Structure 1
């Protein structure tokens, strides 16, 4: 099905392609090999996805001096793109290596460059309405559609207050360019250089967002001592770049925590949506670690004690029971 597109690039050179792991979106990927060189073929259905941000933000990040895959050939009508092959070594593949702390420190050094990338018209507005919509993913897909809990028995008033508190905290921060999914599976090591993938949802948003995505990763929990050092390092790097005007480390930590709660509520909901809407069950194992992050932060704030209690004594046991027999 891809021969016409590939022939228009490779001409008379022979090639072979084979499917590789897809991501959490509607995209699928193939590795193409021709003349001992490899490439990535991305199939991104234009009827389901707007591919213009992928192309435009690729240019934006490249101009900012960040490594993203080169786009070698493109057919916007069919949603096919031939990309530079960055290999298969993600940060996630190096987390047990002796170089883990060095890796994280090098990646943290990228945060100011990402944050300073000029805004693009293809970055969606990340405003209160959008943040609220993201929070509703948790309520709809995890609480309602997956656990099937009756809203009459849920803490609706506290939830409404929580959403406003999180939205206010996120909008009060300096607004910068953020990758928006800056975690160990979307950062690759290419011949010693760090590269970004899955960047097409970048927006202008809270300055702590990418740091919390990296350091409170839904797919990997850093040891507490390492987290503490790296959180301090992220503050220092952003502060040195004048991206945290008049912000103390204590304020940074609070913004970091509030942003993390919002991100992890959204992520837990998305993991359920991937199962129910898209038939992808591979993310279910990440729900409980993600809820654990929320619990551990919420219990440190008096106004969020109810959230910690609700998760620990009601929601997490129900999730554990659901996962034990894994019904849809």
Structure 2
């Protein structure tokens, strides 16, 4: 069972909290082993929108490296330090030091900074809070105009609804793009805001359209991206000709063919495996490349200039 611990500050924004909670609870409803815990320094937390929320003051015991700690943002974060005591900040830092992932939504990045997790790392926050974050934590690199950043298991997202995008990305990294796409469709969140973020999941970047035929084909590719998939097979499953599918797909995704979309998913998954210690040969085999040289060529082609 993977725990998702949501740390609630006084004045927590409801959507900062509800977005990640909905993503992971939807994944749990689809059979993934997620359990959500709501923790705070007091049992009753008043949200920024006035709704009172209950929280546990005792943290779940024995959080492990596969568990996720999420800090949603709160109102008036620019006034003084984050509303957490030293003990809570120490727990945030300890979870990361133990190999766990720590994520923030909006002003929640302030708590990560106070816990010492932003020094030397890239991060982001709500556009109205970016200057303040950079001032408070001069040893971090605040990335502007992006939905979220990831840097050594420290994941920060921009304002409010971007917590949904962050959480879908984490699902895609942990379980592959098919689950993230399934959760996104269940939540009716195909559209991407600011889709130029290079670290965003391909499942999300290329779902900002309303073409049901293309969505069906993407669902198939997302589920079986490591398998050989011919254009004729995809077209037959969609009930259209290969020529029509190519035309619809490239129009909906901004220029990608079905094959290029599949390669993008393979490359994204391979990069994750490589970052976690896999060899190029192992990663290539895992994502469906019979020849590791193909993975090397794709990585070189997509490397920053």
Q: Determine if the TM-score, normalized by the shorter chain, exceeds 0.5.
A: no
Q: Structure 1 length as normaliser, TM-score? A: 0.27
Q: Structure 2 length as normaliser, TM-score? A: 0.28
Higher relative contact order (CA 8 A, sep 6+): 1
